[in-house]
């Protein structure tokens, strides 16, 4: 049984490595990678309880729309266009290096009101000043799964 668990972890590690490599090298729709995984594992791969992944997509957003600043000790939501994302998709994002001090990622999710958008909630950790977020709301890296 230990051998089977070890093989499963190695396979999962290879898949994660491929996804990370593709993401770091320009992104795009990872359907081809997922198709290759299914080619070798037609029954699918399941780690733990849960449902199979039907789609993996990654890339970099353009400028997200929303307020130009986040008020002190508060949060603001930004809409970012991501073609192909649908309500219910799982969304993972990374803010760009140009993100100002005191700005942090509070949440990210697929829009429930508009297809092809993710919503990114940014928080301001400063208790005294509003912070301009222009650098944080462009070039957000994302990964979505369905």
Q: Residue ranges per domain, the chain?
A: 2-52, 58-145
**Closest to 64 measured CA to CA, from 142, 139, 145:** 139
86 — pLDDT class (breaks 50, 70, 90): very high
105 — pLDDT class (breaks 50, 70, 90): very high
Return the exposure string of 70-91: e unless at least 16 CB atoms fall within 10 Å of the residue's CB, then b: beeeeebebbbebeebeeebeb
The C-alpha torsion from 123 through 126 and 132 to 133, rounded to 10°, is -30
What was the pLDDT predicted at 24? Answer: 47
What percent of the chain clears pLDDT 70, i.e. is strictly above it? 67
68 — pLDDT class (breaks 50, 70, 90): very high
What was the pLDDT predicted at 107? Answer: 96
């Amino acid at each position: 049984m230990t051998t089977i668990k070890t093989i499963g972890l190695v396979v999962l590690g290879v898949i994660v490595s491929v996804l990370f490599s593709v993401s770091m090298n320009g992104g795009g729709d990872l359907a081809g990678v997922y198709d290759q995984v299914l080619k070798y594992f037609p029954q699918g791969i399941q780690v733990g309880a849960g449902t199979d992944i039907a789609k993996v997509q990654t890339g970099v957003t353009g400028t997200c729309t929303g307020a130009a600043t986040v008020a002190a000790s508060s949060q603001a939501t930004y809409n970012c266009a991501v073609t192909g994302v649908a309500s219910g998709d799982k969304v993972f994002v990374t803010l760009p290096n140009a993100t100002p001090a005191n700005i942090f990622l509070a949440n990210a999710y697929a829009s429930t009101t508009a297809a092809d958008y993710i919503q990114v909630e940014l928080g301001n950790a400063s208790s005294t000043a509003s912070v301009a977020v222009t650098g944080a709301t462009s070039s957000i890296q994302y990964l979505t799964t369905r």
